[in-house]
Structure 1
Protein backbone atom coordinates (compact mmCIF):
# COMPACT_ATOMS: atom_id res chain seq x y z
CA UNK A 1 0.00 0.00 0.00
CA UNK A 2 1.35 3.40 -0.98
CA UNK A 3 1.49 5.90 1.81
CA UNK A 4 0.51 9.47 1.09
CA UNK A 5 2.55 12.20 2.64
CA UNK A 6 3.73 15.70 2.25
CA UNK A 7 5.80 16.60 -0.79
CA UNK A 8 7.63 19.29 1.18
CA UNK A 9 11.32 18.85 1.80
CA UNK A 10 12.23 18.18 5.43
CA UNK A 11 13.53 21.21 7.28
CA UNK A 12 17.29 21.17 7.57
CA UNK A 13 18.87 22.63 10.66
CA UNK A 14 21.10 25.68 10.37
CA UNK A 15 24.78 24.81 9.92
CA UNK A 16 26.42 24.79 13.35
CA UNK A 17 29.97 24.78 14.69
CA UNK A 18 30.70 24.38 18.40
CA UNK A 19 33.94 23.95 20.34
CA UNK A 20 35.26 24.37 23.89
CA UNK A 21 38.27 26.66 24.19
CA UNK A 22 40.56 27.53 27.08
CA UNK A 23 39.59 30.58 29.13
CA UNK A 24 42.82 32.36 28.21
CA UNK A 25 43.82 35.10 25.77
CA UNK A 26 45.00 32.33 23.46
CA UNK A 27 41.51 30.80 23.56
CA UNK A 28 39.99 34.18 22.63
CA UNK A 29 42.38 34.57 19.68
CA UNK A 30 41.58 31.03 18.51
CA UNK A 31 37.85 31.77 18.77
CA UNK A 32 38.31 34.79 16.51
CA UNK A 33 40.31 32.80 13.96
CA UNK A 34 37.87 29.89 13.93
CA UNK A 35 34.83 32.16 13.55
CA UNK A 36 36.32 33.90 10.51
CA UNK A 37 37.41 30.59 8.99
CA UNK A 38 33.94 29.12 9.45
CA UNK A 39 32.32 32.22 7.92
CA UNK A 40 34.57 31.86 4.88
CA UNK A 41 33.77 28.16 4.56
CA UNK A 42 30.01 28.64 4.88
CA UNK A 43 29.55 31.89 2.94
CA UNK A 44 32.52 32.20 0.62
CA UNK A 45 33.52 35.56 2.10
CA UNK A 46 37.12 36.67 1.87
CA UNK A 47 39.41 37.24 4.86
CA UNK A 48 39.54 40.96 4.19
CA UNK A 49 35.79 41.48 3.73
CA UNK A 50 33.84 43.83 5.97
CA UNK A 51 31.77 40.87 7.22
CA UNK A 52 34.88 38.88 8.18
CA UNK A 53 36.34 41.87 10.05
CA UNK A 54 33.05 42.38 11.89
CA UNK A 55 32.79 38.69 12.82
CA UNK A 56 36.39 38.77 14.08
CA UNK A 57 35.77 41.87 16.22
CA UNK A 58 32.49 40.68 17.72
CA UNK A 59 33.82 37.17 18.42
CA UNK A 60 36.98 38.34 20.17
CA UNK A 61 35.03 40.85 22.29
CA UNK A 62 32.54 38.20 23.43
CA UNK A 63 35.37 35.73 24.12
CA UNK A 64 37.42 38.36 25.98
CA UNK A 65 34.43 39.12 28.20
CA UNK A 66 33.98 35.39 28.89
CA UNK A 67 37.59 34.95 29.98
CA UNK A 68 37.65 38.20 31.96
CA UNK A 69 34.26 38.17 33.69
CA UNK A 70 32.85 34.66 33.19
CA UNK A 71 35.80 32.48 34.07
CA UNK A 72 36.10 29.94 36.85
CA UNK A 73 39.49 28.27 37.38
CA UNK A 74 39.82 25.13 35.30
CA UNK A 75 36.68 25.81 33.25
CA UNK A 76 36.61 26.52 29.51
CA UNK A 77 34.24 28.62 27.44
CA UNK A 78 32.27 27.37 24.45
CA UNK A 79 32.15 29.07 21.06
CA UNK A 80 29.11 28.20 18.96
CA UNK A 81 28.46 29.53 15.46
CA UNK A 82 25.12 29.19 13.69
CA UNK A 83 24.52 30.19 10.10
CA UNK A 84 21.07 31.75 9.95
CA UNK A 85 19.37 32.80 6.69
CA UNK A 86 20.84 36.31 6.73
CA UNK A 87 23.22 36.36 9.69
CA UNK A 88 25.95 34.53 11.52
CA UNK A 89 25.02 33.99 15.17
CA UNK A 90 28.04 33.96 17.47
CA UNK A 91 27.46 32.47 20.92
CA UNK A 92 29.97 32.39 23.77
CA UNK A 93 29.00 30.33 26.80
CA UNK A 94 30.86 30.74 30.08
CA UNK A 95 30.55 29.37 33.61
CA UNK A 96 29.38 32.45 35.53
CA UNK A 97 25.60 32.84 35.09
CA UNK A 98 25.48 35.29 37.99
CA UNK A 99 27.75 37.75 36.13
CA UNK A 100 25.39 39.14 33.52
CA UNK A 101 26.75 41.66 31.02
CA UNK A 102 25.81 45.24 31.80
CA UNK A 103 23.75 47.29 29.39
CA UNK A 104 26.22 49.40 27.43
CA UNK A 105 26.07 53.10 28.18
CA UNK A 106 26.11 55.82 25.56
CA UNK A 107 29.88 56.12 25.85
CA UNK A 108 32.88 55.24 27.99
CA UNK A 109 33.03 56.84 31.42
CA UNK A 110 36.46 58.32 30.83
CA UNK A 111 38.78 58.78 27.87
CA UNK A 112 41.74 57.33 29.78
CA UNK A 113 40.13 54.01 30.74
CA UNK A 114 41.74 50.96 29.15
CA UNK A 115 38.74 48.63 29.27
CA UNK A 116 34.96 48.62 29.34
CA UNK A 117 34.25 49.30 25.67
CA UNK A 118 33.76 45.73 24.43
CA UNK A 119 29.99 45.62 24.60
CA UNK A 120 29.81 49.08 23.04
CA UNK A 121 31.67 47.62 20.06
CA UNK A 122 29.40 44.56 19.98
CA UNK A 123 26.33 46.79 20.08
CA UNK A 124 27.73 49.01 17.30
CA UNK A 125 28.75 46.19 14.94
CA UNK A 126 26.21 43.42 15.57
CA UNK A 127 22.65 43.58 14.29
CA UNK A 128 21.37 42.15 17.57
CA UNK A 129 22.89 40.79 20.74
CA UNK A 130 21.76 39.49 24.10
CA UNK A 131 22.32 37.11 26.97
CA UNK A 132 20.57 33.86 27.89
CA UNK A 133 20.87 31.93 31.16
CA UNK A 134 19.67 28.40 30.44
CA UNK A 135 20.75 26.69 33.66
CA UNK A 136 22.40 27.33 37.03
CA UNK A 137 25.90 26.72 35.69
CA UNK A 138 26.29 28.72 32.46
CA UNK A 139 25.25 31.79 30.54
CA UNK A 140 25.46 32.47 26.84
CA UNK A 141 26.14 35.89 25.37
CA UNK A 142 25.24 35.98 21.68
CA UNK A 143 25.42 38.38 18.77
CA UNK A 144 24.18 38.24 15.19
CA UNK A 145 26.25 39.73 12.37
CA UNK A 146 24.61 40.30 9.00
CA UNK A 147 26.02 38.15 6.22
CA UNK A 148 26.28 40.25 3.09
CA UNK A 149 26.30 38.20 -0.11
Structure 2
Protein backbone atom coordinates (compact mmCIF):
# COMPACT_ATOMS: atom_id res chain seq x y z
CA UNK A 1 0.00 0.00 0.00
CA UNK A 2 1.36 3.42 -0.91
CA UNK A 3 0.37 6.74 0.51
CA UNK A 4 1.02 10.30 -0.47
CA UNK A 5 2.65 12.61 2.07
CA UNK A 6 0.08 14.72 3.86
CA UNK A 7 -0.10 18.27 2.52
CA UNK A 8 -0.70 20.95 5.11
CA UNK A 9 -2.03 24.42 4.32
CA UNK A 10 0.82 26.84 3.68
CA UNK A 11 3.44 24.20 3.02
CA UNK A 12 5.59 24.13 -0.05
CA UNK A 13 7.45 21.35 -1.74
CA UNK A 14 10.98 20.80 -0.45
CA UNK A 15 12.73 21.99 -3.61
CA UNK A 16 16.48 22.48 -3.83
CA UNK A 17 18.84 24.42 -6.03
CA UNK A 18 19.57 22.11 -8.95
CA UNK A 19 23.38 22.50 -8.97
CA UNK A 20 24.65 24.54 -6.02
CA UNK A 21 28.17 25.87 -6.44
CA UNK A 22 28.60 26.51 -2.72
CA UNK A 23 27.02 24.69 0.21
CA UNK A 24 27.29 25.20 3.98
CA UNK A 25 25.47 23.09 6.60
CA UNK A 26 25.88 23.27 10.37
CA UNK A 27 23.89 22.51 13.50
CA UNK A 28 23.64 25.05 16.32
CA UNK A 29 22.37 24.94 19.88
CA UNK A 30 18.79 26.14 20.08
CA UNK A 31 19.72 29.22 22.14
CA UNK A 32 20.13 32.93 21.43
CA UNK A 33 23.89 32.33 21.40
CA UNK A 34 23.44 29.60 18.77
CA UNK A 35 21.30 31.92 16.61
CA UNK A 36 23.89 34.68 16.88
CA UNK A 37 26.72 32.30 15.94
CA UNK A 38 24.69 31.02 12.97
CA UNK A 39 24.17 34.60 11.75
CA UNK A 40 27.85 35.46 12.11
CA UNK A 41 29.06 32.30 10.36
CA UNK A 42 26.52 32.81 7.57
CA UNK A 43 27.75 36.39 7.11
CA UNK A 44 31.34 35.15 6.90
CA UNK A 45 30.43 32.36 4.46
CA UNK A 46 28.48 34.75 2.20
CA UNK A 47 31.47 37.10 2.11
CA UNK A 48 33.76 34.17 1.22
CA UNK A 49 31.34 33.25 -1.60
CA UNK A 50 31.67 36.73 -3.13
CA UNK A 51 28.74 38.57 -1.51
CA UNK A 52 30.74 41.40 0.09
CA UNK A 53 30.17 42.71 3.61
CA UNK A 54 28.21 45.98 3.79
CA UNK A 55 26.47 45.38 0.47
CA UNK A 56 22.66 45.51 0.39
CA UNK A 57 22.54 41.89 -0.74
CA UNK A 58 24.79 40.74 2.11
CA UNK A 59 22.79 42.72 4.69
CA UNK A 60 19.48 41.35 3.41
CA UNK A 61 20.69 37.73 3.35
CA UNK A 62 22.17 38.06 6.82
CA UNK A 63 18.91 39.55 8.11
CA UNK A 64 16.96 36.61 6.67
CA UNK A 65 19.35 34.16 8.36
CA UNK A 66 19.00 36.06 11.65
CA UNK A 67 15.20 36.04 11.52
CA UNK A 68 14.84 32.38 10.56
CA UNK A 69 17.36 31.28 13.21
CA UNK A 70 15.71 33.46 15.86
CA UNK A 71 12.35 31.89 14.98
CA UNK A 72 13.85 28.40 15.28
CA UNK A 73 15.11 29.28 18.77
CA UNK A 74 11.99 31.12 19.92
CA UNK A 75 9.23 29.04 18.32
CA UNK A 76 10.89 25.76 17.37
CA UNK A 77 12.91 25.05 20.51
CA UNK A 78 12.78 21.52 21.90
CA UNK A 79 14.96 20.89 24.95
CA UNK A 80 18.14 19.04 24.02
CA UNK A 81 17.63 19.51 20.26
CA UNK A 82 19.62 21.72 17.91
CA UNK A 83 18.52 23.62 14.83
CA UNK A 84 20.23 23.27 11.46
CA UNK A 85 21.25 26.04 9.07
CA UNK A 86 21.94 25.34 5.41
CA UNK A 87 23.14 27.88 2.87
CA UNK A 88 23.36 26.90 -0.78
CA UNK A 89 24.29 29.16 -3.66
CA UNK A 90 24.51 28.92 -7.41
CA UNK A 91 25.36 31.70 -9.84
CA UNK A 92 21.92 33.33 -9.56
CA UNK A 93 20.40 32.41 -6.17
CA UNK A 94 21.19 31.94 -2.50
CA UNK A 95 18.93 29.52 -0.61
CA UNK A 96 18.68 29.64 3.18
CA UNK A 97 17.12 26.74 5.10
CA UNK A 98 16.60 26.55 8.85
CA UNK A 99 15.33 23.28 10.29
CA UNK A 100 14.07 22.76 13.84
CA UNK A 101 12.50 19.75 15.54
CA UNK A 102 9.15 21.18 16.58
CA UNK A 103 6.28 20.16 14.32
CA UNK A 104 3.28 21.45 16.25
CA UNK A 105 4.25 25.14 15.86
CA UNK A 106 4.07 25.83 12.13
CA UNK A 107 4.37 29.19 10.36
CA UNK A 108 1.18 30.83 9.18
CA UNK A 109 0.52 30.38 5.44
CA UNK A 110 1.13 34.08 4.88
CA UNK A 111 2.45 36.46 7.52
CA UNK A 112 -0.20 38.94 8.60
CA UNK A 113 0.86 42.58 8.87
CA UNK A 114 1.76 43.51 12.42
CA UNK A 115 0.48 46.75 13.95
CA UNK A 116 2.83 49.69 13.43
CA UNK A 117 3.76 49.75 17.13
CA UNK A 118 4.33 45.97 17.44
CA UNK A 119 7.67 44.90 18.91
CA UNK A 120 7.32 41.25 17.87
CA UNK A 121 5.81 39.26 15.03
CA UNK A 122 7.63 41.01 12.17
CA UNK A 123 10.27 38.40 11.32
CA UNK A 124 8.45 36.56 8.56
CA UNK A 125 7.22 39.88 7.17
CA UNK A 126 10.85 40.88 6.72
CA UNK A 127 11.67 37.53 5.15
CA UNK A 128 8.70 37.84 2.78
CA UNK A 129 9.79 41.33 1.73
CA UNK A 130 13.48 40.51 1.24
CA UNK A 131 13.29 37.05 -0.28
CA UNK A 132 12.45 36.32 -3.89
CA UNK A 133 10.38 33.44 -2.54
CA UNK A 134 10.04 31.59 0.74
CA UNK A 135 8.07 28.78 2.32
CA UNK A 136 8.21 25.84 4.68
CA UNK A 137 7.61 22.13 4.77
CA UNK A 138 7.27 19.41 7.38
CA UNK A 139 10.28 17.11 7.59
CA UNK A 140 9.73 13.63 6.24
CA UNK A 141 10.88 10.77 8.49
CA UNK A 142 11.80 13.03 11.42
CA UNK A 143 10.00 15.53 13.65
CA UNK A 144 10.14 19.19 12.77
CA UNK A 145 9.96 21.58 9.87
CA UNK A 146 12.21 23.49 7.53
CA UNK A 147 11.62 27.15 6.75
CA UNK A 148 13.45 28.32 3.63
CA UNK A 149 14.00 31.48 1.64
CA UNK A 150 15.60 32.10 -1.72
CA UNK A 151 17.10 35.38 -2.88
CA UNK A 152 18.08 36.19 -6.42
CA UNK A 153 21.57 37.63 -6.67
CA UNK A 154 22.17 40.71 -8.81
CA UNK A 155 23.30 39.96 -12.33
CA UNK A 156 26.78 40.91 -13.46
CA UNK A 157 27.03 44.69 -13.66
CA UNK A 158 23.85 45.37 -11.63
CA UNK A 159 24.27 47.57 -8.60
CA UNK A 160 20.81 47.24 -7.09
CA UNK A 161 19.78 43.91 -5.59
CA UNK A 162 17.17 41.89 -7.45
CA UNK A 163 14.83 41.89 -4.45
CA UNK A 164 11.13 42.51 -4.55
CA UNK A 165 10.04 46.13 -4.62
CA UNK A 166 9.60 47.85 -1.28
CA UNK A 167 12.77 46.75 0.44
CA UNK A 168 12.38 45.72 4.05
CA UNK A 169 15.43 47.84 4.76
CA UNK A 170 13.35 50.91 3.85
CA UNK A 171 10.40 49.49 5.78
CA UNK A 172 12.45 48.99 8.94
CA UNK A 173 13.76 52.56 8.80
CA UNK A 174 10.17 53.77 8.53
CA UNK A 175 9.44 51.93 11.77
CA UNK A 176 12.14 53.94 13.52
CA UNK A 177 14.56 51.14 14.38
CA UNK A 178 15.87 47.75 13.46
CA UNK A 179 15.00 44.17 14.40
CA UNK A 180 17.30 42.60 16.98
CA UNK A 181 16.93 39.12 15.48
CA UNK A 182 14.65 37.90 18.25
CA UNK A 183 11.41 39.63 17.33
CA UNK A 184 11.97 42.95 19.15
CA UNK A 185 12.63 46.33 17.55
CA UNK A 186 15.45 48.52 18.80
CA UNK A 187 16.08 52.18 18.17
TM-score for both structures, normalised by structure 1? 0.84
Please say if 1:147 is aligned against 2:153. yes
Shift of 1:12: 5.8
CA distance in 2, matches of 1:94, 1:131: 11
**Structure 1 spans left out of the alignment, 5+ residues:** 1-10
Which one has the largest radius of gyration?
A: 1
* Aligned partner of residue 94 in structure 2, secondary structure: strand
Please say if 1:38 is aligned against 2:68. no
Shift of 1:15: 2.2
- Once superposed, what is the RMSD of the aligned Cα atoms? 1.7
Give the number of equivalent residue pairs. 136
Please say if 1:115 is aligned against 2:115. no
**Structure 2 spans left out of the alignment, 5+ residues:** 1-17, 157-187
* Aligned partner of residue 57 in structure 1, secondary structure: helix
Q: Matches of residues 1-149 of structure 1 in structure 2 within 5 Å?
A: 14-42=21-49, 44-102=50-108, 103-105=110-112, 107-108=113-114, 110-135=115-140, 136-148=142-154, 149=156
Aligned partners of 1:92 and 1:140 also within 8 Å? yes
Bigger mean CA deviation after superposition, 18-27 or 132-141: 132-141
